[in-house]
Amino acid sequence: MGADDVYRYHCRRAGLLRVVIYMGLKLKALTRSPWVYHLSTGSCNNCDIEILDCLTPRYDLERFGIVLVGSPRHADALLVTGNMTMKCIPRAKEVYEQMPKPGVVIAIGTCSLGHGVFDGSYVMPKTVDEVLPVDIYIPGCPPKPEGIIAGVAKLLTMLRQKA
Amino acid sequence: MSERRMTWKEIQKKIHEKYDDKILKWFEHNENRIYVDIDPSDWIEFGRFLFNEFPTRFIIASAVDTPRGGIDILYHFDFLNLPQVFSVRVFVKKPELEIESMAPYIKGTEWIEREMNELFGIQFKNHPNMKHLILPDDWPEGNYPLRRDQ
Amino acid sequence: MSEIIPIGPYHPLQEEPEFFRLHVEGEHVTKLDIEIGYNHRGIEKLAESKSWDQVVFLVERICGICSTSHPAASVCAMEDLGGIEAPERAQYIRTIVAELERIHSHLLWLGLAGHFIGYNTVWMWAWKYRESVCDILDKMTGNRQSYAMFKVGGVRRDVLDEDIPWFKKELDGLKPVLDMFKGAVIDDPVIHARTKGVGVLTKQQAIDYCVVGPTARPSGVPIDVRKDDPYFAYDWVDWDIVVLEEGDVFAKAVCRVLEMYESVKIIEQCFDKMTPGVIDLHVKELPPGEGIGRAEAPRGEVYHYCRSDGSNFPARYKVRAPSYVNIFSNEVACVGEKVADAALVLAAVDPCYCCTERLIVVDHDKNEERVLKANDLLRLSHERTKEVRKELGV
């Protein structure tokens, strides 16, 4: 092995180490206080309002460290509501790509589970889990804030057990 | 647009005076819901008369595909503080499905005419801004979701 | 269909493609292009494959915040079609649910508008007190949103007499809160400076664009479906409509705050006037014909048209939500405003929630296009509020 090769080998190891440390930190963040990003893919907004309600003084998600962020690049988890209408499919994929991995996708509300009352509509060729890899489903129309928090808490427990 | 308050009887009288010969059918489902049929060629003149002569508000237009070889377009109006809803029905025949656009005269009709064009394929002549409103831009041409004969 | 137009760049928490394209020269907006359709869910087509009863559930989910207004217009349309008159007790219950929804929707708007201007406390408090309205609805109907109360010929659930004192107590608790918001909105000099004279929609423009609700009334157009074409129990109780003249964002905010007072008045009278009786006529079928139903949602007039051929499914079901006409009026209301204010104007028509968050700004002077994300809009707006504070010395 020449000097160049040794140098390249050490650079690669250092790089790999950086990646491993980063993934570990991310996983830890995910299990401790995930930052979430909300994506609506054609919803009636009931679920969206209930998610926002979780921030208000009665439920107050922020005291658990869960913060709603303004960009998917800062997010650990994606909260998806809505039916995944045709116009939204490329947007949803773009947002998912921007979220740093490992990241989780949480589908909230009956629409994101399987269209709900809108089943059979001509503008909804796919369901949310056919476009994005969903990790947890929270049913309800809309799910109550307590339900959303319970779902997110279950997910955190699942992740901690995995990590 | 006329500012003074008018009663329904006055409005009815004026419409009959001027357009009795053009009205094909006048049907009152009940005292607050009136449906009037006219020919597509008289629509622009009649619509403009309604909007300018009385305190009128354009509510919306509904298109209905029928098995009679054409599409019914109902333009719904109300007279501000009166309970009546006055619906003007025009029947556009297939396959042409053409009618003059009301958008240059009543601003509020612009969007709904775009929507009727993309959902039913109705051609509105002289529309100032005809393009997709609610369907994606890459929606297949000629595919009209609300038509029943496709 | 395009009954819900999800926009309104005052929520930073969602990501959706551009709905608005502002053309600017210098700091001011010269033109606005609007694009909608992201929330188009094909509801009118779906309604043709649902039974009449199911249609009411479907339309409830057109919009979460006006989730009573669409079923209200829907049952009005079906009852108009069939010539059916719902029982008195059912009409009172329907009115109560509709007015409770109006209060919670206006509080929601107030909170989000406060957040956009930079008053996060207003946001938290408005939503906190909104919870008590949601509690009343929860106890009465079983759900905080999407109540599933309305059906053709009546309502599904009765209001128990033993619950009424608790409801009245909660409503009484809401009155000092409304006073507080009235003071916060109407008397605050910073809110005056940021919203007075901004986004003016003149009376003639309001008439030309055929706007409705709290977009039309603050511009001097005195229309309200509850007074003009009374439905439910609105002509059995005493209340006033709120009409203002200025047409700016401030007038729209004041209009909504004052409407909440009227709603509380209506609900109290309904509780007092309600007598025991049947709540449902158990309608089994609807005759062929056409029906038109209208209701006053918190955002304006909701209009439903249905056509029946005598079968159990609608031959055609047309829905028009108020935001459809109100948003179009932004074309003229935004012109001449600064970008930070333009976003506020867009939010002032209370588009049925905002899922958006990006504005594209086309700068004609610099010949470039820049995308302003929700965070940018919020930041611009908060900076503008700080400037205004400095100018006022507050």
Helix, strand and coil percent figures for chain A, each rounded to 5: 55, 15, 35
For residue C8, what pLDDT is reported? Answer: 32
Mean pLDDT computed over C150-166 = 92
For residue B125, what pLDDT is reported? Answer: 93
For residue C312, what pLDDT is reported? Answer: 92
pLDDT 10s digits, C64-102: 777 889 999 999 999 999 999 999 999 999 999 999 999
Give the Cα separation of C355 and B88 in Å (integer). 35
Who has greater pLDDT, C246 or A163?
Answer: C246
Residues of C with CB under 8 A from a CB of A: 4, 6, 12-17, 37-43, 45-46, 49, 54, 57-58, 61-65, 67, 108, 124, 127-128, 131, 144-146, 352-353, 355, 373-375
Distance, first Cα to last Cα, chain C: 46
Mean pLDDT of chain C: 84
Which phi and psi angles does C222 have, rounded to 5°? -85, 60
pLDDT of C239 above 90: yes
pLDDT above 90 covers what percent of chain C? 45
In a mutational test of the A interface, the residue from B132, B135, B148 whose CB has the highest number of chain A CBs within 10 Å is: B135
Within a domain: B133: no
For residue C2, what pLDDT is reported? Answer: 21
Per-residue CA distances from C280 to B62, C80, C89, C154, C275 (Å): 30, 16, 9, 4, 14
Mean pLDDT computed over B70-79 = 93
Band of residue C19 on the pLDDT scale cut at 50, 70, 90: low
Within a domain: B100: no
**Cβ-defined contact of A122 to B136 (cutoff 8 Å):** no
Domain architecture of chain C: domains with CATH: 43-325 (1.10.645.10)
Mean pLDDT computed over B56-83 = 92
Assign residue B64 the CATH number of its domain. Answer: 3.30.460.80
Q: Is any Cβ of chain C less than 8 angstroms from the Cβ of A63?
A: no
**Cβ-defined contact of B76 to C292 (cutoff 8 Å):** yes
Who has greater pLDDT, B97 or C365?
Answer: B97
Band of residue C222 on the pLDDT scale cut at 50, 70, 90: very high
For residue A14, what pLDDT is reported? Answer: 67
Beta partners for residue C9, in sequence order: none
pLDDT 10s digits, C322-351: 888 888 888 888 888 888 888 788 777 776
pLDDT 10s digits, B109-149: 988 999 999 999 999 999 998 988 888 788 888 889 888 88
For residue A27, what pLDDT is reported? Answer: 64
For chain B, the residue count is: 150
CA C10 to chain centre: 15
* DSSP string computed for C125-139: HHHHHHHHHHHHHHH
Phi/psi-derived region of residue C220, left when phi > 0, alpha when psi is between -120 and 50, beta in every other case: left
For residue B16, what pLDDT is reported? Answer: 92
Q: Is domain A3-162 given the CATH code 3.40.50.12280 in the classification? A: yes
The ipTM estimated for the assembled molecules is 0.92
pLDDT of C34 above 50: yes
Are A111 and A16 in contact by the 8 Å Cβ rule? The answer is no
Q: Is any Cβ of chain C less than 8 angstroms from the Cβ of B67?
A: no
In this structure, which amino acid lies at residue C382?
H
Within a domain: B87: yes
For chain A, the residue count is: 163
Give the start-to-end residue ranges of the domains of chain A.
3-162
Band of residue B29 on the pLDDT scale cut at 50, 70, 90: very high
Within a domain: B115: no
Who has greater pLDDT, C160 or A60?
Answer: C160
- Domain that includes residue B75, residue range: 8-95
Band of residue C292 on the pLDDT scale cut at 50, 70, 90: very high
Q: Is any Cβ of chain A less than 8 angstroms from the Cβ of B140?
A: no
Query: Which of C191-200, C252-261, C277-286 is predicted least confidently?
Result: C191-200
pLDDT 10s digits, C182-199: 888 788 888 888 888 888
Give the Cα separation of C280 and C231 in Å (integer). 17
Between CA C241 and CA C248, with CA C244 as vertex, the angle to 5 degrees is 130
The segments of chain A whose pLDDT lies below 50 read none
For residue C199, what pLDDT is reported? Answer: 87
Between CA B95 and CA B101, with CA B44 as vertex, the angle to 5 degrees is 55
Mean pLDDT computed over C212-231 = 92
Q: 3-state SS of A70-89?
A: CCHHHCCEEEEECCCCHHHH
Which residues of chain B neighbour C305 with C-beta distances below 8 Å? 62, 74, 76
Indicate the pairing of strand C358-363 with strand A136-138.
Answer: unpaired
Band of residue C41 on the pLDDT scale cut at 50, 70, 90: confident
pTM for this predicted structure? 0.88
For residue A24, what pLDDT is reported? Answer: 67
Indicate the pairing of strand B57-66 with strand B33-38.
Answer: unpaired
For residue B139, what pLDDT is reported? Answer: 86
In a mutational test of the A interface, the residue from B115, B118, B137, B139 whose CB has the highest number of chain A CBs within 10 Å is: B139
Give the Cα separation of C32 and C23 in Å (integer). 6
For residue C303, what pLDDT is reported? Answer: 93
Closest CB to A39 among C14, C42, C127: C14
Q: Is any Cβ of chain C less than 8 angstroms from the Cβ of A141?
A: yes
Per-residue CA distances from C392 to A101, B39, C31, C89, C190 (Å): 47, 61, 30, 53, 8
Which helix (H) or strand (E) segment is A31 a member of?
helix A3-32
Which helix (H) or strand (E) segment is A96 a member of?
helix A89-98
In a mutational test of the B interface, the residue from C38, C201, C223, C316 whose CB has the highest number of chain B CBs within 10 Å is: C316
Number of domains in chain B: 1
pLDDT above 70 covers what percent of chain C? 89
Question: Which residues lie below 8 Å from residue C1, measured CB to CB, with a gap of 6+?
Answer: B115, B119, B134, C40, C41, C42, C43, C44, C319
Which residues of chain B neighbour A123 with C-beta distances below 8 Å? 135-136
Band of residue C356 on the pLDDT scale cut at 50, 70, 90: very low
pLDDT 10s digits, A28-61: 666 667 788 888 888 888 888 888 888 777 887 7
pLDDT 10s digits, C293-311: 999 999 899 999 999 999 9
Residue A86: closest C-alpha in chain B: B136
Band of residue C388 on the pLDDT scale cut at 50, 70, 90: confident
**Residue C240, both tokens:** 């006033």
Within a domain: B60: yes
For residue A87, what pLDDT is reported? Answer: 79
Within a domain: B78: yes
Give the Cα separation of C8 and C344 in Å (integer). 8
**Cβ-defined contact of B145 to A86 (cutoff 8 Å):** no
Which phi and psi angles does A105 have, rounded to 5°? -120, 125
Mean pLDDT computed over C235-243 = 93
